[in-house]
């Protein structure tokens, strides 16, 4: 089966060039000047992309489908969440398998592999959340690396649940250094935050906004600093997830300037939402925007600092931390965000975003003049593929790469709404936002899976993606 995508503007992290793209089977086999070869004659299918961008499918290295959290589950399953990802132009996700206290890493990994198997619309890999560091889990890290799970996430937050102390963290980092795998860190000082939360509740400060206010920027930047110090001690690679504070970005920038192999991501919610406009909304509305790290105050300049970090490469990736919970009862899962009415500490943490990210970063980044077209692709696809061992199979349009391709119409203007998205959640954090640019057609390994408003793929199209060891250093 040969497919020709003709006459579009091919945009990668490096180049912007009008070209024909020839696909044979699952991979890209050639690029050429438009019409230079008679490829249209031999192709089984020709897609006219004139006037459109032809870009690599998005890579979202941070999603939580079906994640158990605070007595409920993230409302998107692997099936609904990856279909929504496809609609949003993301063709690869890396989700998180979870080891809970008292269980083995390998058991957790197998459970999550089983959940995803035959259910995904896009290709998927796993990071492993190591929630119980001991001799056995450290030795199981070797096995997981062999199985293509080459990154391990630790938590400096959530004492008593997924929390690791500094000694555990150092041991895991030493093991990661030995196996050329990546340590991902949820960097917040969970011990201090727990005290502030308890004191807020005692004072009767129970509204959703206190979720943000009891996790001040210093609780993030202190943890980022400590994670960097420990990673340097261990000689390990470090990737800090969901950065939201400008003080934390400064810590990452300083480490990178010293030449340390330290990476960091942020997410759309931190770039577009604020305490003033969202979390402090009337009544319980602010619960829509409760996530950790928290949404921060616009007036303190965090959004601007994050966008600047993305532009200057102090931050390398935009992921989503997609972890949706419904405001009203979910038909199957029941009460979700409402668990926290009258007590913000009980609100499940997380927001939807897997369908929004690719387009939102185009709008806020390229249309609003903060980053280049090429940087958009680097932030939403290429960099994550490189950092997490998927490049050049994923993350670019090149001869031999998987034909994961998005045809993106930069001219369409539309308004974001829950009524238009495909994620299994009953609100959009971006309701009513006017945006420019829209995903039109999506190919996964050569097959069209989204055609305009229609999903034309099949459940189970997505395959497990074993990932390589860490090879990037800056
Ligand atoms: Zn997360």
Encode the chain (474 residues) as per-residue pLDDT tens digits: 999 999 999 999 999 999 999 999 999 999 999 989 999 999 999 999 999 999 999 999 999 999 998 889 999 999 999 999 999 999 999 999 999 889 999 999 999 999 999 999 999 999 999 999 999 999 999 999 999 999 999 999 999 889 999 999 999 999 999 999 999 999 999 999 999 999 999 999 999 999 999 999 999 999 999 999 999 999 999 999 999 999 999 999 999 999 999 999 999 999 999 999 999 999 999 999 999 999 999 999 999 999 999 999 999 999 999 999 999 999 999 999 999 999 999 999 999 999 999 999 999 999 999 999 999 999 999 999 999 999 999 999 999 999 999 999 999 999 999 999 999 999 999 999 999 999 999 999 999 999 999 999 999 999 999 999 999 888
3-state secondary structure of 24: strand
How far is the centre of ligand 1, averaged over its atoms, from the C-alpha of 347 (Å)?
15
How far is the centre of ligand 1, averaged over its atoms, from the C-alpha of 383 (Å)?
18
Polymer length of the chain: 474
- Per-residue confidence (pLDDT) for residue 150, from 0 to 100: 98
How far is the centre of ligand 1, averaged over its atoms, from the C-alpha of 184 (Å)?
10
How far is the centre of ligand 1, averaged over its atoms, from the C-alpha of 152 (Å)?
12
How far is the centre of ligand 1, averaged over its atoms, from the C-alpha of 64 (Å)?
6
How far is the centre of ligand 1, averaged over its atoms, from the C-alpha of 442 (Å)?
26
How far is the centre of ligand 1, averaged over its atoms, from the C-alpha of 354 (Å)?
12
How far is the centre of ligand 1, averaged over its atoms, from the C-alpha of 292 (Å)?
8
User: CA-to-CA distance for 104 and 137, rounded, in angstroms?
Assistant: 6
User: CA-to-CA distance for 393 and 378, rounded, in angstroms?
Assistant: 15
Greatest pairwise CA separation for the chain in angstroms: 74
Q: Which residue has the tokens 């450290």?
A: 138
How far is the centre of ligand 1, averaged over its atoms, from the C-alpha of 341 (Å)?
23
Burial degree of 180 (CB within 10 A; 0-12, 13-18, 19+): middle
User: CA-to-CA distance for 363 and 352, rounded, in angstroms?
Assistant: 18
Query: What one-character DSSP code corresponds to residue 215?
Result: S
The C-alpha angle with vertex 88 and arms to 72 and 129, in degrees rounded to 5, equals 40
- Per-residue confidence (pLDDT) for residue 71, from 0 to 100: 86
Which contacts of 195-204 are long-range, i.e. CB under 8 A and separated by 24 or more positions? 197/345, 200/344, 201/343, 201/345
User: CA-to-CA distance for 51 and 411, rounded, in angstroms?
Assistant: 9
User: CA-to-CA distance for 36 and 46, rounded, in angstroms?
Assistant: 15
How far is the centre of ligand 1, averaged over its atoms, from the C-alpha of 195 (Å)?
22
Q: Which residues pair with 205 in a beta bridge?
A: none
User: CA-to-CA distance for 54 and 100, rounded, in angstroms?
Assistant: 42
Taking the chain, what is the end-to-end CA distance rounded to the nearest angstrom? 39
Which contacts of 106-114 are long-range, i.e. CB under 8 A and separated by 24 or more positions? 106/140, 106/143, 106/144, 109/144, 109/147, 109/149, 113/464
pTM (two decimals) = 0.98
Q: Does residue 356 contact residue 285 with C-beta atoms inside 8 Å?
A: no
How far is the centre of ligand 1, averaged over its atoms, from the C-alpha of 63 (Å)?
7
Query: What one-character DSSP code corresponds to residue 218?
Result: H
C-alpha closest to that of 129 among 321, 382, 384, 339: 321
C-alpha closest to that of 15 among 445, 400, 319, 372: 372
How far is the centre of ligand 1, averaged over its atoms, from the C-alpha of 321 (Å)?
5
User: CA-to-CA distance for 257 and 249, rounded, in angstroms?
Assistant: 12
C-alpha closest to that of 207 among 315, 146, 132, 288: 288
User: CA-to-CA distance for 35 and 443, rounded, in angstroms?
Assistant: 22
How far is the centre of ligand 1, averaged over its atoms, from the C-alpha of 387 (Å)?
17
How far is the centre of ligand 1, averaged over its atoms, from the C-alpha of 115 (Å)?
18
How far is the centre of ligand 1, averaged over its atoms, from the C-alpha of 353 (Å)?
12
Q: Where are the beta strands (DSSP E) in 165-210?
A: 182-186
How far is the centre of ligand 1, averaged over its atoms, from the C-alpha of 200 (Å)?
24
How far is the centre of ligand 1, averaged over its atoms, from the C-alpha of 93 (Å)?
13
How far is the centre of ligand 1, averaged over its atoms, from the C-alpha of 41 (Å)?
47
Q: Does residue 194 contact residue 158 with C-beta atoms inside 8 Å?
A: no
- Per-residue confidence (pLDDT) for residue 319, from 0 to 100: 98
How far is the centre of ligand 1, averaged over its atoms, from the C-alpha of 385 (Å)?
18
How far is the centre of ligand 1, averaged over its atoms, from the C-alpha of 349 (Å)?
9
C-alpha closest to that of 215 among 294, 281, 289, 156: 294
How far is the centre of ligand 1, averaged over its atoms, from the C-alpha of 363 (Å)?
24
- Per-residue confidence (pLDDT) for residue 26, from 0 to 100: 98
How far is the centre of ligand 1, averaged over its atoms, from the C-alpha of 34 (Å)?
42
User: CA-to-CA distance for 31 and 398, rounded, in angstroms?
Assistant: 8
How far is the centre of ligand 1, averaged over its atoms, from the C-alpha of 36 (Å)?
46
- Per-residue confidence (pLDDT) for residue 473, from 0 to 100: 82
C-alpha to C-alpha distances, 78 to 28, 211, 338, nearest whole angstrom: 27, 28, 23
The C-alpha angle with vertex 148 and arms to 375 and 450, in degrees rounded to 5, equals 50
């Amino acid at each position: 089966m040969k497919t020709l995508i003709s006459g579009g503007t091919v945009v990668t992290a490096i180049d912007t060039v009008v070209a024909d793209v020839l696909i044979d089977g699952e991979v890209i086999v050639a690029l050429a000047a438009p019409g230079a070869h008679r490829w249209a004659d031999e192709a089984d299918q020709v897609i006219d992309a004139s006037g459109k961008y032809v870009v690599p499918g998005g890579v979202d290295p941070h999603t939580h489908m079906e994640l158990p959290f605070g007595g409920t589950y993230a409302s998107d399953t692997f099936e609904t969440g990856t279909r929504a990802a496809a609609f949003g132009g993301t063709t690869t996700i890396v989700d998180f398998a979870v080891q809970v206290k008292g269980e083995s890493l390998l058991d957790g990994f197998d459970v999550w592999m089983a959940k995803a198997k035959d259910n995904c619309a896009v290709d998927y890999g796993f990071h492993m959340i190591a929630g119980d560091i001991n001799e056995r889990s450290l030795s199981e890290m070797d096995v997981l690396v062999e199985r293509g799970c080459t990154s391990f996430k630790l938590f400096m937050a959530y004492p008593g649940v997924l929390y690791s102390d500094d000694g555990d963290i150092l041991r895991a980092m030493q093991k990661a250094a030995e196996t050329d795998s990546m340590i991902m860190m949820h960097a917040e000082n969970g011990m201090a935050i727990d005290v502030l939360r308890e004191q807020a509740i005692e004072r009767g400060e129970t509204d959703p906004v206190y979720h943000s206010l009891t996790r001040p920027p210093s609780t993030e930047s202190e943890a980022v600093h400590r994670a960097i110090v420990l990673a340097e001690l261990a000689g390990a690679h470090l990737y800090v997830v969901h950065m939201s504070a400008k003080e934390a970005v400064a810590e990452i920038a300083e480490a990178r300037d010293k030449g340390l192999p330290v990476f960091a991501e942020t997410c759309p919610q931190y770039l577009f939402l604020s305490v003033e406009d969202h979390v402090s909304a009337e009544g319980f509305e602010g619960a829509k925007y409760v996530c950790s790290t928290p949404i921060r105050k616009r007036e303190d300049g965090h959004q601007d600092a994050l966008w600047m970090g993305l532009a200057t490469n102090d931050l390398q990736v935009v992921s989503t931390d997609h972890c949706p919970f419904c405001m009203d009862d979910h038909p199957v899962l029941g009460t979700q965000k409402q668990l926290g009415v009258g007590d913000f500490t009980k609100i499940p943490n997380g927001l939807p975003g897997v369908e929004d990210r690719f387009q939102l970063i185009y709008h806020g980044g390229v249309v609003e003049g903060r980053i280049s077209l090429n940087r958009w692709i680097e932030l939403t696809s290429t960099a994550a593929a490189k950092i997490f061992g998927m490049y050049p199979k994923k993350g670019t349009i090149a001869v031999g790469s998987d034909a994961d391709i998005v045809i993106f119409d930069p001219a369409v203007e539309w308004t974001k709404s829950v009524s238009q998205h495909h994620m299994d959640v009953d609100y959009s954090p971006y309701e009513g936002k006017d945006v420019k640019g829209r995903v039109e057609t999506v190919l996964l390994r050569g097959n069209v899976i989204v055609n305009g408003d229609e999903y034309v793929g099949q459940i189970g199209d997505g395959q497990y993606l074993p990932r390589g060891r860490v090879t990037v250093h800056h």
